[in-house]
Structure formats: structure tokens, C-alpha cells
Chains A and B, each alone.
Chain A
């Protein structure tokens, strides 16, 4: 069974989801539940930290697609950070960098949300 976990960290208005392990069709529901929980709580400024994300398939990519419209409609965003080259290649292959903000470090994503607020 693929190993995967999501660890959530809240910082004022911003929530960070730290992904750890293998995000495939088996584990995508776990990630989806975490995103849904944030949206249900009205927390729309979301950073997905991919530092420990070892693998992603289209099932995982589909989770991002499933929530981005709703989040942006509420003046929020899903930004991604700390992505390995291997995982970034998959996002890049499909053109995701044109739709999602992908930054090197989590702090940059925090700054971008903060700049919007100021």
C-alpha cells in the first residue's frame, strides 16, 4: 500500500498542507479530504508544501483541479512550494505552472499571500 500523509499547519489566514510520500489513486482521497476540510472551514489561502512528496500521478493532480476554482472564487489561492525536480516535471509537462503558482520555498508563498493582503 502506498505510504502517504498530510500534515496541516495554520498561520493566521494561511494554511499549509505538507504532503509526505506517494500521491496516487489510492492516497488521493486523503489529500482531497484535507483540502475539503479547509474549504469547509472557509480557509482559502492554501499552500501545499511538496518537500516530502516523492510521487504524484494524475489522480493527485486531479485533486488540485477539483478545488482551485472554488478557492479562487473566494479570493483565495492554492500555491505550491518546495517541489522536487521529479514532481515538478510532471506538473510542468501538463502546463500546470500556467495555472498554479509554484515557488521554491514555502516562505515565498507566504509572502505572496501577505503582499495581497497589505
Chain B
């Protein structure tokens, strides 16, 4: 039976104080979808990094701007879009292509995007400075990523009220 895509939305001020709320938000959705603890952690860290980039680089530390965290979940994948209306950036400018050189030169910064690319299955950018910037993170629900939790995944995706008992 095909399952409908479920959508979730969290809007927070652009302050690092709320990173834990963001992590809890995506973590609970990922866990309910059946992702293993290891993959829930990867998704949480990736979204944290994306939001930290928005706070530091898109809004340059300005508080009271909005960050939107949009989550879409279906039987195949979890998609998290982090949306801001800040100054944007060129994704290629933040690329860390040689981690060994990075470490040996004691460089700082730029690790967030590198981590996201290592942790997620797909990463997409839509950059329109001062209009709307979106980084979209995708994690697929395959057997490896839901190891030991497939029963839970089924109950959440196919029986929406199962957890209310």
C-alpha cells in the first residue's frame, strides 16, 4: 500500500540557543520513521550543521531572522529542507576537498558542509541571496539504515495511530 508523504514544519529564530530544539524535532521524526539510532544521529548532526551555517553565514549572527526546517517523510526517504532568506553562499566555495591537507594546515571552519555531504545520501542547494536559500538533505530508508527497527517503521508509516495506544 502506497503511503502518503507526511510533512512537518518548524520555524525558529536564527539563534544557536535553539539548535537542541531543531535536533529534537528532526530526531523524533527520523526515529518514528524507523531509522536506527546511528542514522538518527547522522540526520540530527547534518541538520544542526545546516542550521549553524544559516545562523553564522547567511544571517551573519543576526538574531530574530527565521530559519525554516521542513521535513517530508514517505516510505522511501526522509527529506529535510533548511530554508533561510539571508545572503546565501556559493556551495563550491565551502568545499573541503582534501581532509588530510585541511588537518595538517590546522585550518578552521568549512567542516560543516563537508560533514553533511559525508553523512547524508543526497545534498542539494538552491541559492537565491536575500530571497530564499534552501539546502535539501535526503536520507533513504533502506534495510541498513533501519536495521532492527523495520517493525517500528511499518507501524509508523502504515498505521498512523499505532503509537497512540
Contact = CB atoms under 8 A, between A and B. Distances in A.
B25 to A, nearest CB: 14
A66 B108 CA distance: 7
B16 A25 contact: yes
Contacts of B159: none
Contact of B45 (A1, A57, A62, A99): A57
B48 A61 contact: no
Contacts of A99: 103-104
Nearest to B111: A58
Given A25-B16, A25-B55, A86 B41 contact: yes
B20 to A, nearest CB: 4
B52 A62 contact: no
Contacts of A25: 16, 19, 48, 52, 55-56
Interface string B33-61: 00000100100010011001001100000
A58 B115 contact: yes
Chain B CB count within 10 A is highest, among A59, A61, A69, A86, for: A59
* Number of chain A interface residues as a range: 20 to 34
B99 interface: yes
A51 B35 CA distance: 26
B86 interface: no
B17 interface: yes
A94 B41 CA distance: 16
Main SS class of interface, A: helix
B100 interface: yes
Nearest to A66: B108
Nearest to A98: B103
A2 B56 contact: no
A95 B99 contact: yes
Contacts of A69: 106
B112 A57 contact: yes
Nearest to B45: A57
Contacts of B56: 25
A93 interface: yes
B20 A22 contact: yes
What 7 A-B pairs have minimum CB-CB distances, sorted nearest first? Answer: A26-B16, A58-B111, A69-B106, A25-B52, A25-B16, A58-B112, A2-B20
Given A1-B18, A95-B103, 12 more contacts: A22-B20, A24-B48, A25-B52, A55-B23, A57-B48, A58-B49, A58-B112, A58-B115, A62-B111, A68-B106, A94-B114, A95-B99
21 contacts: A1-B17, A24-B20, A26-B19, A26-B20, A57-B52, A58-B49, A58-B52, A58-B112, A58-B115, A65-B103, A65-B107, A65-B108, A66-B108, A68-B106, A90-B45, A93-B115, A94-B99, A94-B111, A95-B99, A95-B103, A99-B104
